[in-house]
Amino acid sequence: MSRLVLLVLLSWALTVACSDDLPVAVTQPAGIPEEEVRRIVREEVQRALAAQTPAPDPDCDVATAAARALPSVVRIEVRDPRTGDLTGLGTGFVALAGGIVMTAAHVTGTSPRVDVIAADGRRFAAEVLRADPMRDVAVLRIPDRRLPAMRWADTATLTLGEPVRVVGFPYGRPDVSVTGGVLAGRSVSPERSRQELFTDAGADPGDSGGPLLTACGEALGVVSGRQTGSSSITVVVGGDTALPLALEAAKSP
């Protein structure tokens, strides 16, 4: 079985947090050991990270992070395909070159009509390549393949307490906002089959689907929402879950 075919099969069936200090919950295809699942997926993530442009200057601040990230951050509008009525609002970001946009699955829902509004105000009808409600990640494609893709950070190098940023369009407003905080925790959720990152950086309705950023403006994952029972902890689907899903969906013709 080729590596590409195996990765496609695994992406539907596994939860991976690839850092050595995190547990891994895997429901792997029959006959494939858990260690092999971990190795293959981690290699794919590392290959994607290595293919990026060189890392930016590590001496960064909030303004630097925002300046680097904002051209890749987009607003999401979901409409009823029959009436055109607005049914959902959120945030997204260009996750891969070629017009591949990520957002939260609860933002897109099951509607086939999703509009993406770029930072310069242009509006695109997006193709929904994949929506994964369990992991709360959706992958879209827009016709403009030239929008800048956000650089991804390696979640395996994260240190608890390091500064992070949430970028989004709260309450559907046209003006983007940036909130700061720290990385408060990380774990794997066997129930939702995903890596989760936790931060005290604020996320309001409308910020869902936007990126969690490092201090240098690199993506760490996709904002999912507030932790149940908490008004101060934001839950993010980590890159070790989100990036493989984007890589697989981008292979769609």
Taking alpha carbons only, the member of 156, 149, 181, 146 closest to residue 166 is 181
| Same domain, yes or no: 37 and 114 | no
**Tokens matching residue 63:** 């303004």
Number of Cβ within 10 Å of residue 56's Cβ equals 15
> 175 and 209: one domain?
yes
CATH number at residue 200: 2.40.10.10
Share of the chain above pLDDT 70, in %: 81
DSSP letter, residue 136:
T
Residue 62: both structure tokens together: 């909030």
Enumerate the active-site residues. Answer: 106, 136, 208
Q: Is the pLDDT of residue 29 over 60?
A: no
Q: Is 55 a domain residue? A: no
- Shared domain for 109 and 34, answered yes or no, is no
Instruction: Count structural domains, the chain.
Output: 3
Q: Encode pLDDT of 178-211 as tens digits.
A: 999 999 999 999 888 899 999 999 999 999 999 9
CA 248/CA 96 separation, integer angstroms: 11
Pair 107, 90: CB distance under 8 Å: yes
Residues 226 and 186 in one domain: yes
178 lies in some domain: yes
Provide the residue type at 109 as one letter: G
Joined together, the tokens standing for residue 177 give: 């906002």
CA-based nearest residue to 42, from 14, 5, 16, 21: 16
Q: Examine the domain organization and report whether 190 and 232 are in the same domain.
A: yes
- Residue 15 in this model has a pLDDT that exceeds 50: no
Domain with 111, as residue range(s), is 74-149+245-250
Q: Per residue in 88-132, pLDDT tens?
A: 999 999 999 999 999 999 999 999 899 999 999 999 999 999 999
216 part of a folded domain: yes
Judge whether residue 1 has pLDDT over 60: no
- Residue 57 domain flag: no
**127 assigned to some structural domain:** yes
* 155 and 136 part of one domain: no
Let me know if residue 56 belongs to a domain.
no
Return the number of other C-beta atoms located less than 10 Å from residue 176's C-beta.
Answer: 19
Same domain, 218 and 188: yes
Contact present, 170 and 209 (Cβ < 8 Å): no
% of the chain exceeding 90 in pLDDT: 59
Same domain assignment for residues 85 and 106: yes
pTM recorded for the entire structure: 0.82
Can you give the pLDDT at residue 58? Answer: 64
The answer to whether residues 144 and 198 belong to one domain is: no
155 in Cβ contact with 238 (< 8 Å): yes
Please state, in angstroms and rounded to a whole number, the distance separating the CA atoms of residues 103 and 14.
20
Q: Are residues 80 and 143 in the same domain?
A: yes
Evaluate whether 164 touches 238 at the Cβ level (below 8 Å): no
Claim to verify: residue 100 and residue 130 sit in the same structural domain: yes
Kindly provide the residue ranges of all beta strands, DSSP E only, lying in 97-216, ordered along the sequence. Answer: 100-103, 114-117, 123-132, 137-141, 163-168, 177-189, 194-199, 211-214
Same domain membership, residue 232 and residue 160: yes
Please report the pLDDT score of residue 159 as a whole number: 92
CA quadruple 247, 4, 154, 64: dihedral sign: negative
Query: What is the mean pLDDT of the segment spanning 167-179?
Result: 92
Q: Is residue 42 part of a domain?
A: yes
Q: What is the pLDDT of residue 253?
A: 77
The letter for the amino acid at 205 is P
